Amino acid sequence: MIRTKSTIEILDFIKAMMVVGLSSLPYFHGLLTTKAGPKDWVPDIGLINFITDSEGYPLGFSNYRVFLYTFLIHVFFFVVWLAWLKNAKNRSYYYALYIPVILSGFQIALILFNLRYTQFNDVRLKLGLLLILLVICAFLYLRKEPFSWRTSIKWLGIVLAAMLPFIHDVLTTRGLDGVNSWVPVLGIEDALTGTDGKIVGFKTYRVFIYTLGLHLFAHLGSLGWFMDAYRKKYRAWILVPVAITLYQLPVIISNWSNTSLNTPSVKLYISLGICILLALNFFFNNKVENNKNQSI
């Protein structure tokens, strides 16, 4: 099937808008819900009742808002890391990217099947799965060429990044204060603890590490996708999720999570501002290119 130029441009525009829409997933729960439940304008389609058990917990979460946040941000992980994987076929770390993609898909399955409080969500199982995936992916890579020092460092970085969504389980234990006994004391927790006893606004150091790890993982996946999508026409639009995930990191570290800087409206304005700049850039570049073609 032969596609016309206009058809290709429409498809590229749809892909760009899908990327922009994807960038809203980490904060989409804030658009749809409050701490009390769904906002008044959100239609009731029976989803909450369907996933809520007899004790009032949506798939084991304390409330629907927390469920929506956790589920959507893991969907975001899966999509951006999968997109990076698809754009890195000629890279030395291509097989390594299967590790975070599979682990992200595994976590989504745990959420949907309400298995977070079972042995399937144990950190030892996840580390074991990561090790198995690493051996398999390394074997597949070694069938083509040997590891170089540069490739080994890239693989190590991706493996460490794959641990970010559950690094809180590695460093801390649920129900206990501080880090595990084997973790060296670097004074980070004390430096981040305010006069109210909270860790930059978070109740515990574990929750802080969990939140920071999630959003750092999201940013690295978006950034990697952007770096390797250099032949894609929608590449510039990946800057929207890159910027949104980057913006969230200082919000977390600087104790701005409970301020107006962390509201969905601010993030929408940031996304809209980037989209306007990208659209203007595309318009002027396209205009210059058309003028060059007419002068030839």
Q: What are the backbone angles phi and psi of residue 59, rounded to the nearest 5°?
A: 50, 40
List, in sequence order, every residue forming a beta bridge with 202; answer none if it has no partner. Answer: 199
| Amino acid 4: pLDDT | 61
pLDDT score at 106: 98
**What was the pLDDT predicted at 231?**
83
At 26 the pLDDT is 94
Instruction: Give residue limits of the domains in the chain.
Output: 5-295
How far CA 77 is from CA of 6, 53, 266, 273, 279, in Å, comes to 32, 27, 22, 23, 26
Backbone φ and ψ for 79, nearest 5 degrees, come out as -70, -45
Distances in Å between the alpha carbon of 3 and those of 7, 11, 233?
Answer: 6, 10, 16
pLDDT of residue 288: 46
The pLDDT assigned to 81 comes to 98
The number of angstroms, rounded, from the C-alpha of 152 to the middle of its chain's C-alpha atoms is 24
Taking the alpha carbons at both ends of the chain, their separation in whole angstroms is 31
Half-sphere exposure of 165 (CA within 13 A, CB side): 32
Query: How many residues in the chain?
Result: 296
Q: What residue spans of the chain are helical by DSSP H?
A: 5-22, 28-32, 47-51, 64-86, 98-112, 123-142, 149-162, 167-171, 188-192, 205-228, 239-253, 264-295
Q: What is the pLDDT of residue 282?
A: 75
Q: What does each of the 296 residues of the chain score in pLDDT, given as a tens digit? A: 555 656 767 888 888 899 999 999 999 999 999 888 899 999 988 999 999 998 989 999 999 999 999 999 999 999 999 999 999 999 999 999 999 999 999 999 999 999 999 999 999 999 999 999 999 999 999 998 999 999 999 999 999 999 999 999 999 988 877 888 888 888 888 888 888 888 999 999 999 999 999 999 999 999 999 999 988 888 999 999 999 999 999 999 998 988 899 999 999 999 999 999 988 887 666 554 555 545 55
Predicted local confidence at residue 291, as pLDDT: 52
CA atoms within 13 A on the CB side of 222: 28
The model's pTM: 0.91
